[in-house]
C-alpha cells in the first residue's frame, strides 16, 4: 500500500500542476511557466481543468496522503501532505464560487505539495510503533 500511496501522491501533484498551467486567465503566473515549456495549447481546455481535473488531482493527492498516514502515523509528514491539497481545493472553490482569482491559495498549496512530495521521495516514511520495542507482538502484558 505504501508504494501505491507514494505514486498517487506524485500523480496528484503532477496533475495539479499541469492543470493549473492550462488556466491562463485564472492563474497567470503558473500558466506563463506552462506556456514557456510548451503547454500553451492547454488553454483551450481551461474549463475542463478548473471544473474537473484540478480538483480531481488535488483530491487524489489528499486521499493518498490520508491513507499514507495510516501506514506511517507521522504527523509531521501528514500535516503538510494534507494542507497542500486542501489549499488547492480551496483555491478552486473560491474561484468557482466567487469568481475571484485565487492564486494566493493555489501557489502556496502547490509549493507545499511539491515540498512534501520531494520529502517523501528522498526520505520515505517508516512505520512508527506505539510500543517501546520494534516488535509489535511484544506488547506489555499486565498480570492480574
Spans of all domains in the chain: 2-122
Which positions ≥6 away from 49 have C-beta within 8 Å?
19, 20, 22, 23, 42
Give the three cell numbers for residue 112.
507545499
Q: Distance between CA 33 and CA 142 in Å, rounded?
A: 62
d(C-alpha 19, C-alpha 13), whole Å? 10
CA atoms in the 13 A half-sphere facing the CB of 132: 1
7-54 confidence digits (pLDDT tens): 887 888 888 888 888 777 778 888 888 888 888 787 788 888 888 888
What is the pTM assigned to this prediction? Answer: 0.70
Distance in angstroms (rounded) separating the CA atoms of residues 30 and 21: 5
Residue pLDDT, tens place only, 87-139: 999 998 998 888 888 889 988 998 998 898 888 778 776 665 555 455 555 44
CA–CA distance, 16 with 30 (Å, rounded to integer): 11
Pairwise CA distance, residues 5 & 60, whole Å = 9
What are the two backbone dihedrals, phi and then psi, of residue 131, each rounded to the nearest 5 degrees?
-90, 170
| C-alpha of 103 from chain center | 16
Amino acid at each position: 500500500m505504501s508504494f501505491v500511496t507514494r505514486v498517487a501522491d506524485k500523480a496528484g501533484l503532477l496533475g495539479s500542476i499541469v492543470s493549473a498551467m492550462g488556466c491562463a486567465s485564472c492563474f497567470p503566473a503558473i500558466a506563463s511557466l506552462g506556456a514557456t515549456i510548451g503547454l500553451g495549447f492547454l488553454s483551450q481546455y481551461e474549463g475542463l481543468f478548473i471544473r474537473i481535473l484540478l480538483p480531481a488531482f488535488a483530491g487524489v493527492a489528499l486521499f493518498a496522503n490520508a491513507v499514507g498516514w495510516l501506514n506511517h502515523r507521522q504527523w509531521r509528514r501528514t500535516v503538510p501532505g494534507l494542507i497542500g491539497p486542501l489549499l488547492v481545493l480551496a483555491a478552486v472553490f473560491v474561484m468557482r464560487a466567487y469568481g475571484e482569482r485565487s492564486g494566493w491559495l493555489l501557489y502556496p498549496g502547490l509549493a507545499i505539495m511539491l515540498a512534501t512530495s520531494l520529502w517523501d521521495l528522498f526520505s520515505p516514511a517508516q512505520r512508527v510503533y506505539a510500543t517501546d520495542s520494534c516488535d509489535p507482538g511484544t506488547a506489555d502484558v499486565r498480570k492480574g
